[in-house]
Amino acid sequence: MTTTPVSFALPTVPLRKGESTAQRILDAAEALFSERGFSGTTLRDVAARVGLRIPSLYNHFASKESLYAAVLERGFGPVLGVLSDFLDEGSESRGDATRVVERVMALLGQRPNLARLVVHETLSGGQRLTPLLRNWIAPIFARAHEMAETGPAARRWDAERIPLVVLAMYHVVVGYFAIAPLYLELNGSNLMTTSALARQTEFLKELVATLFPEE
Amino acid sequence: MTTTPVSFALPTVPLRKGESTAQRILDAAEALFSERGFSGTTLRDVAARVGLRIPSLYNHFASKESLYAAVLERGFGPVLGVLSDFLDEGSESRGDATRVVERVMALLGQRPNLARLVVHETLSGGQRLTPLLRNWIAPIFARAHEMAETGPAARRWDAERIPLVVLAMYHVVVGYFAIAPLYLELNGSNLMTTSALARQTEFLKELVATLFPEE
Amino acid sequence: MTTTPVSFALPTVPLRKGESTAQRILDAAEALFSERGFSGTTLRDVAARVGLRIPSLYNHFASKESLYAAVLERGFGPVLGVLSDFLDEGSESRGDATRVVERVMALLGQRPNLARLVVHETLSGGQRLTPLLRNWIAPIFARAHEMAETGPAARRWDAERIPLVVLAMYHVVVGYFAIAPLYLELNGSNLMTTSALARQTEFLKELVATLFPEE
Amino acid sequence: MTTTPVSFALPTVPLRKGESTAQRILDAAEALFSERGFSGTTLRDVAARVGLRIPSLYNHFASKESLYAAVLERGFGPVLGVLSDFLDEGSESRGDATRVVERVMALLGQRPNLARLVVHETLSGGQRLTPLLRNWIAPIFARAHEMAETGPAARRWDAERIPLVVLAMYHVVVGYFAIAPLYLELNGSNLMTTSALARQTEFLKELVATLFPEE
DNA sequence: GATGAATGAGGATTCATTCAT
DNA sequence: AATGAATGAATCCTCATTCAT
């Protein structure tokens, strides 16, 4: 009931040196990695986007891999924080799926790249996931299952189906951002406008209400 | 009522020469492209997987790009066929969402790579989509909307929300296959077994029933 | 008395493909490695010397390291063969130090680079020695000691000094070739002319006679 | 009899600034250059060994080249001093080969890196030798020859062979230190222990006695 | 149809060096 | 005196592609 602190430390971005430049590199890298994936992104592109020469990147990150890791960790921190909050005992928003949806949508609405990064990571089988992130994801998975089995979802779905419902919600949320650019191009309508995002959020809340009936 | 032919030709794989070898190359390429994306896949890997040297690939495909296109077209043909069937006037399964789900799941269950290819393509904004495929996808989108607005979904959702419902279904279907490898690794449970696939199909049918109520 | 075959196979140069080009690469590499050592030699130089572009080198050798290894193995084979002959039981020149000196000098006289390669290798502590070469060198060392303890050297030197005598001979032989370029530059006299080599060979034979008295 | 000053100034280490730090840099550089040669040594390694960042090295030495030169000059000073003493008219140890051997061995025994530096320099043809050092080495060579032709060696060897004898002695002395690390690795016995050094010194004295008979 | 060889373009990374602080 | 940041030049290596065989 009281707001207990989250049980494990949030991953922090190990900004090696020079705050500002490193941040700008991370921003550029996040955009490119989320657009083109790891191997589709070149340091040349990153450097150009920041306005540096390639070797300068190495003053801030030890390698392309570790730049990627830093991007993931910086980006996932907040998202995982929200999820963790949702799952943690003692958190006041524990189990409040509607609220998670709202917060996650707000977050991803501002940084849609994160969603795309997740999808890239998913496709590559998480091979490049930091140990740090792995350590975060595993318990979240575990507690999500644990909770779903006792929460409102259990009223509507039998046990073995619950993971499928959780996965489904995850894909609906993340996929929206992943498909936005293609949707714009093929369809002409922009999923990333404020109103479109609001509509999707409302839709998700309704979905939550349908899939996890409170009563 | 009778099975009218689909209204436009299915994309065919342009097997330049050597039937069997070309097929084997496509198989290898499909596996690798779906795992690592376009830029993450090298012709070296493809050749090795087929048991050829790299230059031999050029006896069958003009370039890496066109190999990729061939993979997409060969793979998407059947899927688009099913969708097209679902949407075409005169098709006996027109509008039968449950049946589409079953057929798509059966198809992707056997070739889960296709789902992952779609996701890769989505993320890259469809930049590498063949004109052929673009010509397929656009009308499908269009007719899907058209139909949804008059079909059973319209009973449950107001007009502006219908695209979101369609997108959601799409992401749930495709995402399942995309996340399978990661799920196996992080979670230890295999989403690709026959029984897991059957369970997901059932779940999807229930979802369809919920989101697109027949009555 | 009869010429028994050497007891272990001579290291052969694993010429991956394309005989002639690979040989030319090896020649160029041998010259450069012996002049500038491993890290002082660039593939750019090697390629230029052969008249190729850098990537072509990779059609013949997997890496700079493996090119270096191939150079060593190709070069050392004959030298180690002579030594092995000298040490092997059953060889008719077994223990005939004078003859080894002659043969080694003839060999190195034609390929003085080898001597310099040995010295480079020595200085770097043999870190880059192929397992193959290590397997050759160890037994040669061992048998050299073994033999020296019972051969003519034992008449002149007590046991603990024998390794020092052997090392000394080795350094006199190898050092001659190693210092030749510097000697030419600082001193103006060329140690690599036929007559200079003959003189050194004679000198070495006299040294052998002094250090390993036959009687 | 009286200790006449050496006829030209000993090379001194040009410590630009910061006595102690410069010395530490020189020590680190000497160790690395002698182990890996000039091009195999990076300023990063040197800096790391001293516990500084790379740019700090530039507060003490103008460039990698000049650091190398400083290492050579600092190291060779004493050695050349001994040789010069040996050769200088008026020096009390003039022509006393046994004594030179003892002093050189004592010196190199404490700083075996110097020997290895010499060998590296030799192999690279002395391209990086300071003008200062060149000015030292040339006259030493000259006087060595001059003296050998009139000294005890002349009793044993005819004139044209004398340079070979001198070279041989040089290689035996220097090679011992150069091969020590490899010898340790391949053979397990350490040539750098006090007793091993003493044994080698004794051996060298015996060699001197043999090659340059006093009577 | 298969492949050894060659290569232009480019990829990540290292290195010595400079400069402002 | 020390160093974070920046960088031109170069290093090893990979990639897609071509071509002669």
Give residue-wise pLDDT tens across range A186-213: 888 999 999 999 999 999 999 999 988 8
List of C residues 103-142 with CB within 7 A of strand E: none
**How far is residue A73's CA from residue A134's CA, in Å, rounded to a whole number?**
11
Both tokens of C179, joined, read 């210092």
Best B113, B123, B193, B195 residue to mutate vs chain A (most A CBs within 10 Å)? B123
Report pLDDT for B17: 46
* Model confidence band, residue A4 (pLDDT cutoffs 50, 70, 90): very low
Q: Shortest CA distance to B77 belongs to which of B123, B110, B114?
A: B114
Report pLDDT for B212: 84
Mean predicted confidence (pLDDT) in C74-100: 85
Q: Shortest CA distance to C28 belongs to which of C68, C80, C63, C73?
A: C68
Q: Which domains does chain A have, with CATH numbers?
A: 19-211 (1.10.357.10)
C137, C172, C185: residue with CB nearest D172 = C172
**How far is residue C101's CA from residue A204's CA, in Å, rounded to a whole number?**
88
Q: Shortest CA distance to B64 belongs to which of B146, B4, B128?
A: B128
Q: Is the pLDDT of residue C9 over 80?
A: no
Mean predicted confidence (pLDDT) in C91-100: 83
* Model confidence band, residue A19 (pLDDT cutoffs 50, 70, 90): low
Q: Which residues of A touch B170 (CB under 8 A)?
A: 175
| Residue B39: exposure state from Cβ atoms within 10 A (0-12, 13-18, ≥19) | middle
Closest residue on chain D to C128 (Cα): D182
CB contact, 8 Å: C140 with chain D? Answer: no
Name the stretches of chain B with pLDDT < 50: 1-18
Report pLDDT for C11: 38
* Model confidence band, residue C140 (pLDDT cutoffs 50, 70, 90): confident
CB contact, 8 Å: D40 with chain C? Answer: yes
CB contact under 8 A, A200 and B164: yes
Report pLDDT for C200: 98
CB contact, 8 Å: A193 with chain B? Answer: no
Report pLDDT for B6: 40
Tens-place pLDDT, residues D94-153 = 778 889 999 999 999 999 999 999 999 999 988 888 888 888 888 887 888 788 778 778
CB contact under 8 A, A122 and B174: no
CB contact, 8 Å: B37 with chain A? Answer: yes
**How far is residue B143's CA from residue B164's CA, in Å, rounded to a whole number?**
15
Both tokens of D147, joined, read 């003296």
* Model confidence band, residue C19 (pLDDT cutoffs 50, 70, 90): low
Mean pLDDT over each residue of chain C, to the nearest integer: 87
Closest residue on chain D to C164 (Cα): D200
Q: Which residues of C touch D160 (CB under 8 A)?
A: 199
Report if CB A44 to strand F is under 7 Å.
Answer: no
Burial track D55-88 (b if 16+ CB lie within 10 A, e otherwise): eebeebbeebeebbbbbbbbbbbbbbbbbbbbbb
The residues, ordered by sequence, that sit 6+ positions from A86 with a Cβ below 8 Å of its Cβ are A93, A94, A95, A96, A97, A99, A100
Mean predicted confidence (pLDDT) in C5-19: 40
**How far is residue B60's CA from residue B19's CA, in Å, rounded to a whole number?**
9
Share of chain C above pLDDT 70, in %: 91
CB contact, 8 Å: A167 with chain B? Answer: yes
| CA–CA min distance B91, chain A (Å) | 25
Give the three-state DSSP class for D158: coil
Mean pLDDT over each residue of chain A, to the nearest integer: 87
* Model confidence band, residue D77 (pLDDT cutoffs 50, 70, 90): confident
How is residue A167 annotated by DSSP?
Answer: H
Q: Sign of dihedral through CA atoms B194, B199, B200, B204?
A: positive
0.85 cut: is pTM over it?
yes
Q: Sign of dihedral through CA atoms A174, A178, A184, A186?
A: negative
Tens-place pLDDT, residues C176-214 = 999 999 999 888 899 999 999 999 999 999 999 998 887
Q: Which residues of B touch A80 (CB under 8 A)?
A: none
Which of the given ranges, A12-21, A89-98, C61-70, has the highest pLDDT on average? C61-70
H helix intervals, chain C: 19-40, 43-50, 54-57, 64-87, 97-110, 112-123, 131-150, 153-156, 162-187, 194-211
Q: Is the pLDDT of residue A118 over 90?
A: yes
Best A172, A191, A195, A212 residue to mutate vs chain B (most B CBs within 10 Å)? A172
Tokens 């299915």 sit at which residue? B10
- Low-confidence winner among A54-68, A125-139, D64-78 (lowest mean pLDDT): A125-139
- Subunits with at least 3 CB pairs below 8 A relative to chain A? B
CB contact under 8 A, C186 and D120: no
Q: Is the pLDDT of residue C10 over 50?
A: no
The one-letter code for the residue type at C167 is L
Mean predicted confidence (pLDDT) in A142-165: 84
**How far is residue B204's CA from residue B174's CA, in Å, rounded to a whole number?**
11
